[in-house]
Structure 1
């Protein structure tokens, strides 16, 4: 062996072993994991911390004023010579000393939620830390945080609770006073009787009225006593600070019931308005069917019917008040001549007012419907009668709404709201009210207050603001909350966020409509895309003949998966909303197609039938096994395909050019029903967007089924469909559900198409509710993804909307995760069931 023989390397060759590639791929994996964890961590932190209650702090500033608010965070801030121009003089001196000729210096600014937007016209404030006199802020213990139905959050010191009472709050009492207010209309005239008899009748009438008034005064007193004794008692005025929370809690429990009654009354009023709209729609349908002009004169009849219904309900209330007044009298007083005369006068006055209106309505009906066809006449008469009934109910409900609105605003809390303005020490009165608040004169005639910080250097002015307890959603003292107290507020806020209605344009309140809309839309999209995608993939994999056409279709489907989602949104708006929706609403004309003449349409129909018949016979003649088909049969099969395509084109042309169809909702035009963005078209658009995902996943699942299973099934005598049904599809089911999971995850979070085909920032009605027919596909809906976009980029209060964006994002991720977990659980069960059935 040569002495120059090469010596073998003693160490390992790292490149040959692939060690650098392992480190490279591992590093990329670690970076990807870090990015995902960072994103989820940011969303979790920001989303979960949004609803946590924070302390209310007061900072003493260099200029002698105060900066107060809920301390949100301290943020980095670059201090520059340009940024200090608006600072107070003393703060500017400190900033120049800190800069020392440099272009910028790192500093901090304090981010405070000031609230009280209806007074200070701002929700948040940024306070430069360099302008703060003391690093540690003071935390006034007695301040309240009040979340309101309107105007956002309020911060203030409660100074007084007031409760106004009026016996008019009682429905029966108000009807009785309504009678007595109009009692002079029924007073007998002295000239109507002869001499002393007339005077005696007037005297008896006045005596009866006095008896009724005395009974009513006694009832008013009893009502006030019962009102004050309700619950733990609602005093007329509370000025002692320690007693205000209990009075507010008692009042709020009562007002919650009033608010529910008020919402129910308003809902009934809205339902009646919808009923009137349906009546007009029925008349419009009759007008279109009979080709007569009805709506132009119907308004006159509706107005007469509304007047009649309103007058009748007014007199119904007067008679009810008379009946209630009579019940308070003795049996002898009830049967007295004066009461008999009062009843008779009421009947006569009612007849005098109601009869002319009723005769006018009857006269109009006779004149208008005399020459109308039966269908139009019946529709008009029904609309007028229903309008009369609806008007009566509307008057009753409006009266009830007015009563409830008065009750709703009858109990209020007066707060001293902080206004961070410097005031002189000499203007302060020494007479303290409590909790560091002292009275201060106000040149504008408004009561103001004064609070001294713990350092005793910074005064703060206060302006009073009265808040109805019915407008208070939640209230607490942020600086006195314990950990468990904060946890309770946090849980309460989350419950409202998940189950409540939105307030303040979605910045506050709940997201339930958006949650419900997202879930319903996602499930409807899944129901649309799954059958279509699975059947398309089944045909392409199991039945379609391999060739360039199938390859082109597969390439197109794969390319569709990369098309931007906004393109699908534009297509959905143009095709689903304007074309199909317009066709459903108003027929071909509304969809943008000119109908054919009747003769042309029937000729095209006959040609389509002939093409279909030829295609059927050619397909029958050209059928057979591909392996044993002769040349002429293949040619016949090709001709059959051409005729089937011609038949399909003819059928589509017949549908879009039909001259006998004017839509299902022509009477509602120009207000569209389906010819606009709605839940149905949004689901169809997203189904089209996620269709490639389902097709590709299903094809891969079908391709993964071993051919030995198919061959074994064929060997046992099973046919093609039996093999697919019993062998292939059960084996591929987990892979198909994987495609379902991927499509659902993508479709649930899409925003761009939703902006065009149905999602809106605020919806008053749910697309799926308890109102018949329960599912309302023509309604627009709220979607969490669109809500995130709307809050982040279209909100007027962007600072308040920013934390809600993270919370809504967390909620959207949670919903998608739960839907995916449910689908994965189902896939695992199916896979386990299939494996257990093998032998």
Structure 2
């Protein structure tokens, strides 16, 4: 009951509780770290995107045919060629620009490029009828067609009419030299090795050795006759080929006679429309992907390097997967936890930080000299002192990279095995399964996506390594591929080419570094695409395994 006295209420006023608001600082809420980590991610993403964009743009534009310009300088000199690039430089305290002109004609000028300052240019034009000739040797020739000849006399035939048959003759000669004459030389070498093998087994004074020598001489006479016949065939094709020539003139007036078969590709650069330029562009890509290198690896294709990179990566993957998985299985499932096991894990983790060149030295000393040398002494004594497996080869390079990447597979597999719930193991044991049966049927299938993750990481690292390969089997130019049509078909002892080493060789060991720069970006783009393709194939297999064993994702 409330009382009111002279308008004043006696009801007690409600109590108002004042609560002091507490403000949490931005540091406590973690906002600086959020901005820091987000900024780090953004910077890393921009760096990767910038690198890929640079490689893609430079790599895809390498083969696009450029216009040929004619530049006349203030002192009266005239130059003809493609503008490779322009750059700024300091001249008397002011910024000036200059252009790098790809003049070609190395056999006439002694150089492939010429720097020209913009302030020295008196006139610049794009002349019609200017041709660019890509040659088997001496680089490109930039100039004008003066005369097309057959048997030393002018002819009315066009360049295209005579060029394609000439290139067919060139490839026919190469095919005879590489296959037919190569087969004769290979058979002669086998005869020599057969006689040497009989000599080592029975001695020079034995009747077996005398019989082998007689048989080898009879067979050798027939092979020599076959060799002479093939040589005469090649000489006849070359004589026919020498009839067709083209006389070309450089901008200064000097002339040179070229055989049609020596010209890989030629086109009037300033007279092409867009579709014709696209045809030259695609033709250059076809040559790059399907042919062998030429011009000290600054021209031609990289097919042997593509084949060697893929084959080495696959051999490495087949070698590293079982060893890495077996080691991880023992460490996680069988080994007793303790200081020794901890030391082994530390050693495995430390292996991942060892410089790759150290693995290359180990591969050379152990795989090439010890293992390979022993194999030569036991199985190929007739070939000594020339080594068969006792030198660099694709098998030793692959095993060296497998050793380099095995820590990645071990760590990833251990984590995948640890992610399998222990209840699944206990359920398997309760059903009467042994430990190996549990690992084989329960643990490994559920951990397989994680194993594939480790294998993907190993492939990505191994495919891009170069330093170990330089001393365990990679070469600048491989005369033969590791796979051919002769028994045993897969020759693991052969040296090979690799895209990573090809980039290093073209970019830093080429005598014509300016001409090689565009090829560096193109080969880099190809290597990135190749590694991405291999990784996508492994990711596809991993995703299939994830769908089969739901819940065992890593």
Classify the TM-score, shorter chain: over 0.9
Question: Structure 1: how far apart are the matches of 2:302 and 2:548?
Answer: 39
Q: 2:298 aligns with which of 489, 502, 507?
A: 507
2:217 matched residue in structure 1: 384
1:538 aligns with 2:301: no
- Name the SS of the counterpart of 1:770 in structure 2: coil
Q: 2:508 aligns with which of 793, 798, 822?
A: 793
1:277 matched residue in structure 2: 189
1:51 matched residue in structure 2: 63
- Name the SS of the counterpart of 1:37 in structure 2: helix
**Deviations 1:433-480 (CA, angstroms, capped at 9, x unpaired):** xxxxxxxxxxxxxxxxxxxxxxxxxxxx21111111111111111111
Question: Structure 2: how far apart are the matches of 1:764 and 1:154?
Answer: 28
Q: 2:168 aligns with which of 257, 260, 269?
A: 257
Question: Structure 2: how far apart are the matches of 1:510 and 1:540?
Answer: 46
1:17-32 equivalence runs, <5 A: 17-32=29-44
**Deviations 1:542-562 (CA, angstroms, capped at 9, x unpaired):** 111222222111111100000
Instruction: Report deviation, 1:577.
Output: 0.6
**Contact 1:520-1:768 within 8 A present in 2 as well:** no
Q: 1:258 to 1:67 in 2, by over 3 A?
A: closer
**Contact 2:368-2:396 within 8 A present in 1 as well:** yes
Question: Structure 2: how far apart are the matches of 1:544 and 1:757?
Answer: 34
1:475 matched residue in structure 2: 266
Question: Structure 2: how far apart are the matches of 1:772 and 1:121?
Answer: 46
Q: 1:731 aligns with which of 446, 458, 462?
A: 446
Q: 1:570 aligns with which of 352, 361, 366?
A: 361
1:159 matched residue in structure 2: 146
**Contact 2:312-2:394 within 8 A present in 1 as well:** yes
Question: Structure 1: how far apart are the matches of 2:112 and 2:32?
Answer: 55
| Bigger share in helix | 1
**Contact 1:76-1:107 within 8 A present in 2 as well:** yes
1:833 aligns with 2:540: no
| Bigger share in strand | 2
- Name the SS of the counterpart of 1:78 in structure 2: strand
**Contact 1:67-1:127 within 8 A present in 2 as well:** no
- Name the SS of the counterpart of 2:330 in structure 1: helix
Question: Structure 2: how far apart are the matches of 1:531 and 1:125?
Answer: 55
Question: Structure 2: how far apart are the matches of 1:70 and 1:837?
Answer: 58
**Contact 1:265-1:397 within 8 A present in 2 as well:** yes
Q: 1:142 aligns with which of 111, 114, 129?
A: 129
**Deviations 1:56-86 (CA, angstroms, capped at 9, x unpaired):** 001221101123210122112222xxxxxxx
Q: Which runs of 4+ in 1 moved over 4 A?
A: none
2:6 matched residue in structure 1: none
Question: Structure 1: how far apart are the matches of 2:37 and 2:545?
Answer: 35
1:201-350 equivalence runs, <5 A: 237-238=154-155, 247-267=158-178, 268-292=180-204
Give the TM-score taking structure 1 as reference length.
0.62
**Contact 2:419-2:552 within 8 A present in 1 as well:** no
- Name the SS of the counterpart of 2:85 in structure 1: strand
1:123 aligns with 2:123: no
1:744 aligns with 2:452: no
**Contact 2:167-2:264 within 8 A present in 1 as well:** no
1:391-790 equivalence runs, <5 A: 391-418=224-251, 461-586=252-377, 663-790=378-505
Question: Structure 2: how far apart are the matches of 1:503 and 1:676?
Answer: 26
Instruction: Report deviation, 1:836.
Output: 9.6
**Contact 1:569-1:752 within 8 A present in 2 as well:** yes
Instruction: Report deviation, 1:381.
Output: 1.3
Instruction: Report deviation, 1:6.
Output: 8.7
**Contact 1:681-1:757 within 8 A present in 2 as well:** yes
2:98 matched residue in structure 1: 109
- The higher radius of gyration belongs to 1
Question: Structure 1: how far apart are the matches of 2:169 and 2:373?
Answer: 44
1:57-136 equivalence runs, <5 A: 57-79=69-91, 99=92, 104-134=93-123
RMSD (Å) for aligned C-alpha atoms: 2.0
**Contact 1:55-1:70 within 8 A present in 2 as well:** yes
**Deviations 1:747-790 (CA, angstroms, capped at 9, x unpaired):** 00101001100000011100123333211111101011111111
- Name the SS of the counterpart of 1:835 in structure 2: coil
**Contact 2:80-2:143 within 8 A present in 1 as well:** no
Question: Structure 1: how far apart are the matches of 2:34 and 2:168?
Answer: 67
- Name the SS of the counterpart of 1:60 in structure 2: strand
- Name the SS of the counterpart of 1:160 in structure 2: strand
1:342 matched residue in structure 2: none
Question: Structure 2: how far apart are the matches of 1:6 and 1:13?
Answer: 19
**Deviations 1:132-164 (CA, angstroms, capped at 9, x unpaired):** 124xx2001101111111111111111111112
2:11 matched residue in structure 1: none
Instruction: Report deviation, 1:724.
Output: 1.1
1:15 aligns with 2:27: yes
Aligned length: 538
Question: Structure 2: how far apart are the matches of 1:544 and 1:836?
Answer: 26
Instruction: Report deviation, 1:837.
Output: 11
**Contact 1:143-1:156 within 8 A present in 2 as well:** yes
**Contact 1:758-1:781 within 8 A present in 2 as well:** yes
Q: 1:797 to 1:771 in 2, by over 3 A?
A: same
Q: 1:38 aligns with which of 50, 62, 69?
A: 50
